[in-house]
Amino acid sequence: MPVRETLYFTAPHQIEICEELLPVLAPGQVLVETVVSAISPGTEMLVYRGQCPSLLDANDGISSEIHYPAAYGYACVGRVLEIGKQVDKLWLDRLVFSFQPHTSHFVTTPDSLFPIPEHISPETAAFLPNMETAVNLAQDAAPILGERVLVFGQGIIGLLTSALLAEFPLESLVCADPFPSRRAASLALGVSAALDPDSADFRAQAALFLKSGADLTLELSGAPAALNEAIALTAFSGRVVIGSWYGEKRTELNLGGSFHRSRLKLISSQVSTIAPELSARWDKSRRFEVAWNALQRIRPEKWITHRFPLAKAGDAYRLLDENPQETIQVIFEYQP
């Protein structure tokens, strides 16, 4: 029987590539050979570091959604190699996206596949989950004509979100990230400013563009301490959209003083659901359509900084863990 290679997180900072027998193809299933898969530098690195609240060792006897060893990942692009007897022949040899862990092959059903539109490369298609997240963030943020907007974090989620926000007629759009390469990528989008949040005069620099404060702030850095900065730089009655997932990371929030009087709205944003005020008209299918169109406009493939074969996955995760300033998006490439 044919085999596949799958990446497993086996303990904090430890991974293993395992060979597994592929299951027999059922009549309603398809076999997909992976072309590329993208590493999520946010959620996935929490799994790598053992910082997920639900990431517990299976030997503890405690039930959890994720436990070691864990096959994790959710951005696979591949080509349909084989189809079951009940599957439409149009699927054969089709380039598709699927929410799958990092693996050389996977067996699934057609309803879990997203056909990739023409003129979108496999590398750009691998950004689909992150673009859906960015679309969700923009919808939850609901920017208004002429607003002053601040975005913390210019990793891939932050860049995609900033790219969407840059299409709105805002008065100013200020981005903050400690890494020069990411600030340069932000400036290429045409934002008003890309600032270093660790600089001593960060707040003063931000005030040049935000004046009395941001009407809307998005915290996408994954750093809990950034939430204090977001609150401090948001104007009276402004909105702070929190898109970061902090896992087990903790920080003290300053919710006294000006926060208590400022009537700020803290908005939790997560892509797995549609905002209640939109759900009567929007569903996941409509949001994915918007995401595909945005991918075609923005072409985020330009933000791929590193490519690794799956066999070198350890090097990829060490790079992201120890030298994140060198990266924006890291992908795995699979050879047929």
| CA angle at 154 for the pair 120 and 295, rounded to the nearest 5° | 15
The tokens of 38 are what?
A: 């993208």
Q: Give the tens place of pLDDT for each residue, 20-43.
A: 999 999 999 999 999 999 999 888
**Per-residue confidence (pLDDT) for residue 64, from 0 to 100:** 47
Element counts in the chain: helices (H) and strands (E): 10, 17
Residues 156, 264, single domain; the answer is yes
**Rounded to whole angstroms, how far apart are CA atoms 78 and 102?**
11
For residue 78, is it within any domain?
Answer: yes
The pLDDT score that the predictor gives to residue 57 is: 46
Whether 120 has a pLDDT exceeding 80, the answer reads: yes
Query: Is 289 a member of any domain?
Result: no
Domain with 256 in it: 130-268
Q: Which two tokens stand for residue 177?
A: 């990230």
Residues composing the chain: 336
Q: In CATH, what number is assigned to the domain containing residue 231?
A: 3.40.50.720
8 Å CB contact between 306 and 280: no
Last residue of a domain, one of 226, 245, 268: 268
Are residues 7 and 110 part of one domain?
A: yes
Residue after which a domain boundary falls, among 228, 246, 268: 268
Tally of structural domains, the chain: 2
162 shares its domain with 45: no
Q: For the residues 234-254, what does the mean pLDDT come to? A: 87
- Structure-derived torsion over alpha carbons of residues 113, 119, 124, 126, reported in degrees to the nearest 10: 10
**DSSP label of 105:** E
Whether residue 273 is contained in a domain is answered as no
pLDDT exceeds 70 at position 323:
yes
Rounded (5°) CA angle 12-15-21: 135
Between residues 250 and 274, the one the model is more confident about: 274
